[in-house]
Amino acid sequence: MSPTRPDLFDPLQLGPLLLPNRIVMAPLTRNRASAGNVPGPMNIEYYVQRASAGLIITEATYISPQGIGYPMTPGIHNDAQVAGWRNVVDAVHAAGGRIFLQLWHVGRISHPSLQPEGTLPVAPSAIQPAGEAVTYQGMQRYVTPRALETQEIPGIVADYRRAAENALKAGFDGIEVHGANGYLIDQFLRDGTNLRTDAYGGSVAHRARLLHEVLDAVCAVWPSNQVGLRLSPSTTFNDMRDSDPRGHFGEIITSLNRHRLAYLHLIEPNEADRTQGVICVPSRDFRPLFEGVLLVCDGYDGAKARAAIADGHADLVAFGKLFIANPDLPARLRANAPLNAPDPTTFYGGDSHGYTDYPSLGQA
């Protein structure tokens, strides 16, 4: 008799958590934090509506005043923010859910108007990204960031550790380090944005030094099996490039095994990446290199997710836009029920419209 193939609706042991299904809510920036970048009542309702996910990963949450890059995004660096997130976590747990906090430093993808005292954003190297920053005064061209001094980097690592401690105080089930999508850690990893000649630049091992130091720091706070990591080897988002994503990220992903993380979260190449003329490496190609749980994201629907789980390509699948529009997504996928269509005009900022007013199956 052949062994039973895993299914999207099978439970999965993730560290101390038993996930009831393998459907993950992806981290989704929604720009709806309350005053002081504190999660508020509307955020509680939003996450509770989606508590049937096997795991919720929160929207990216900045670790320090320097780490912010967008208006109305939540932080995790002061007591009010910790208390706001505690209210979210308690409500999700009461609804039977499990929730990780994603830790974020945007690096160069910010603007002086968002930074403390109007200072320049920081980055591994002083390379101005193409595009415009979202600010409280509207869209403004990105500036050339200030390259971090070598002696400043331990302070960045300490900020991640404090954020991890605050996530523990807030009662989360774990944390995810955001190392993807062109933000600070990703800027260090890629040779298109890291031109440093010190211990944090040059070879792949040197460019990955900050990532490993951050993982060591947060794993001193949390058991490593409650710490995830998100990477995006092929993305061009936020004006990112790498000369050899297959080779460079292959080395990085192999080096992660020593941390024994809860999971590795890989973002698939998308159509925008493919049209940029860059090398696109699907998560399937990295699967043999990582010894733990693999979470994949971007471009998956129910059928593709089931196939990825069944053939062993992935252990978990994260959904973004589908979870925005379908708070009861696991039930809909299990029943092969129709899905609500997401409204992109309400993705970023605003009120409850397009945030907490999508109907569930019962309401429909």
Amino acid at 284: R
Helices and strands per DSSP (H, E), number in the chain? 12, 14
What is the DSSP secondary-structure string of 305-358? HHHHHHTTS-SEEEESHHHHH-TTHHHHHHHT---PPP-GGGSSS-SSTTTT--
**End-to-end alpha carbon distance in the chain:** 42
Helix (H, G, I), strand (E, B) or coil at 267: strand
Question: What does the block give as tokens for 134?
Answer: 């979202």
What is the DSSP secondary-structure string of 127-147? -PPSSEEEETTEEEEPPPPEE
Question: What does the block give as tokens for 123?
Answer: 């980055």
Measured between alpha carbons, how far is residue 194 from residues 36, 131, 269 in Å? 32, 19, 21
Helix (H, G, I), strand (E, B) or coil at 67: helix
Angle at which helix 41-49 crosses helix 79-94, to 10 degrees, equals 30
Closest by CA position to 204, among listed 278, 265, 256, 240: 256
How crowded is the C-beta side of 95, counted as CA atoms within 13 Å? 23
* Marked catalytic residue, from 160, 183, 200, 263: 183
Vertex 69 angle, CA 65 and 73, to 5°: 80
183 is catalytic: yes
User: Could you list the active site residues?
Assistant: 183
